[in-house]
Structure 1
Amino acid sequence: MKTYNRLAAAALVAWLGTTAAYAQGAADPVIAKVGDAEIHQSEVDLAMTGLDPQLANLPDDQKRVAALSAVIDVKLLAKGAKTDGLENDTGFKNRIAYLTERELHNSYFKKYVVDTVTPEEVKARYEAEMKKIPPQEEVKASHILVKTEEEAKAIIKELDGGKDFAAVAKEKSTDSNKDDGGDLGYFTKGRMVPEFETAAFALEKGKYTKEPVKSPFGYHVILLTDKRTQPAPTLEQVEPQVRQLVMRDKYVDLLTKAKADAGVEISDPALKKAYEDVNKQEAGEEKPAE
């Protein structure tokens, strides 16, 4: 912690010392030096994007210090690597070549995929996806859960006598939602255990089960409070996911054209087959309705 505090203090001094230069309009000010090597604002900004996710919730000033610390560490050891001639190592050159191409890929992806997505495309894709989703019935129910069949039957008699369902649930239910009057909210088929689901969906709105419903949790008395067709999510609710679908299709189209133009050859037969199988699977994914 003491080491970090000293580092933080030194980093903050360095940052404060460059504030004036930055305010004077320097586009990429020098905020620190390691020997003769300068550290520019742009380098710290890049380091900020690569910080460990565990640091994401730190205040911005602390993240800035961590990023500067990372850049200083890199500069210090990079200088040693250059002294040793490691930049001439074949493995190093291969890594640099790959990293360069990966970053070019990312830049190309941003330019021709991310930056080309329009609100109109997202809306059209949303509408196409909504057409694929069959309407689902959902119900809203409340329940009273007890341990024995006898308790459940006694509760049904109380309800038959005019007792309020929510009041009885608060008094006698053993479920954690008893304080909400046993309200379970809306649910579709497949969300509840079969015994409960069958009984709930068979009820008419405003009716409760006249016999206890046994499940692995105990005995239920179920009240159906509403039945409706599940509303579709709004565009605002699913916009990020729909945007991802649009970008995926643009990316696939971009790659398909690039593969056709360049040609892809894989010498290993097993690897070639696996690669082709994956590409067939991707190509066969359902496209949005026209």
Structure 2
Amino acid sequence: MLSTPKLAVMAMAAFVALQAPVHAQDKADPVVAKVGNVEIHQSELDLAVSNLDPQLAQLSDEQKKIAGLSAAIDVKLLSQQAADEKLDQTAEFKKRMQYLSDRELHNAYFKKHVVDTITDAEVKARYDKEVAALPKQEEVHARHILVKTEDEAKDIIKQLDAGKDFATLAKEKSTDPNKDDGGDLGYFSRGRMVKEFEDAAFALDKGAYTKTPVKTDFGYHVIKVEDKRDAPPPPFDQVKDQVRQLIMRDKYLALLADAKQKEKIEISDETLRKGYEDASKMQQQGGSDIEGDAPGAAPDAAAPDAAAPDAATPDAAPKQ
């Protein structure tokens, strides 16, 4: 069970917007708490939980409910006092409520015409299209033996020339932590290793090893290329959420473009007008494949006010 201080911290971190009026008990939407004569229903608690600060995402479901309820009660306590002081009648409050109403309508329209229209088949088709458009990128599967001196590296090359097994020598001689794997580095593409190492590895044919030591800041390497291939695309399951974001972005931009055709936009300040036009151009030109960055053009389905996350890319291999 959470302590009172922890509940207070979570309540402070939460953001909720509960404007529901008092209404009768409903079996489908039961009352979970009361603040004076004001009821808090399950639907309001669900809303409070869904609007918890992202930093609380790691909490258990029970902890989220407690944090959401704490935040909802705090909101009810102070909102009643604010209403008593007629703060809801001020021009500033009404302007803010109008903006919030417009934003929520924007989000509802986005959900109906973008999020809810995307099918799994559409996501798979977009993935296949993006994969087909990816440029070919060569990868090598290499092993290496790392030693401190050039003479040690030269001696290892002599032993290889005499027929000694590379993996066996790596286990015996290498100072790299992967020595127990026979110096196996797996597959890697350009940009994943330090330049000297990378240049030597990609210059080798399949099955060949370096005939002279390769010096880097880590020491002296003897490198063997086990295989070469075109890099495979990221698996569908790994990037399907990012592909869905790309589709949402494109559909969102199409909605905006259509709306802008129907409505005349006038901006009186010249600097703001120019900035808006430049931003609109960048928004429309912000293409991305499944290995690139997805610009923050469309709202996220789970959090409509947020920018779309970056498209996922495989983690870069450590520098050797």
TM range (shorter): 0.7 to 0.9
Amino acid at match of 1:111: K
Aligned to 1:12: none
Counting aligned pairs with the same residue, the percent is: 62
| Corresponding residue number in structure 2 for 1:241 | 242
Counterpart CA distance in 2 for 1:34 and 1:43 is 13
Give every structure 1 segment of 4 or more consecutive aligned residues whose post-TM-superposition deviation is greater than 4 Å.
4-7, 285-288
Residue 156 of structure 1 deviates from its aligned partner by: 1.4
| One-letter amino acid matched to 1:189 | R
Which digits, 9 at most, give the CA deviation of each residue in 1:12-54, with x for residues without a partner?
A: xxxxxxxxxxxxx811000111100101001110110111233
Match of 1:175 in 2: 176
Counterparts of 1:154 and 1:6, CA distance in 2: 66
Report the equivalent of 1:13: none
Whether the 8 Å CA contact 2:147–2:219 is kept in 1: the answer is yes
In 2, Cα distance between equivalents of 1:52 and 1:5: 14
5+ residue gaps in structure 2? 9-25, 290-320
**Structure-2 residue corresponding to 1:271:** 272
Structure 2 residue aligned with 1:66: 67
Amino acid in the other structure paired with 2:275: A
1: CA distance, partners of 2:191 / 2:61: 45
Residue 113 (str. 1) matches residue 121 (str. 2) = no
- Number of matched residues? 272
1:144 to partner: Cα distance:
0.8
The farther-off stretch of 183-192 and 162-171 is 162-171
Q: Let me know the Cα RMSD of the aligned residues.
A: 2.2
Question: How far 1:64 moved relative to its partner?
Answer: 0.9
What corresponds to 1:49 in structure 2? 50
Question: Compared with structure 1, are the counterparts of its residues 233 and 287 closer, same or farther at alpha carbon in structure 2 (3 Å cutoff)?
Answer: closer
Aligned twin of 1:151: 152
Match of 1:10 in 2: none
1:181-215: CA deviation from partner (whole Å, max 9, x where unpaired):
21111111222222111211121222211110112
Alignment of 1:85 with 2:64, yes or no, is no
C-alpha distance in 2, partners of 1:125/1:227?
Answer: 28
The offset of 1:238, in angstroms, is 2.2
Q: Which runs of 5 or more residues in structure 1 are unaligned?
A: 8-24
Alpha-carbon separation, structure 2, partners of 1:201 and 1:167: 23
- Normalized against structure 2, the TM-score is what? 0.79
TM-score (norm. length: structure 1):
0.87
CA shift for structure 1 position 280: 1.9
Match of 2:164 in 1: 163
Offset of residue 105 of structure 1: 0.7
| Aligned amino acid, residue 233 of structure 2 | A
Other structure's SS at 2:188 match? strand
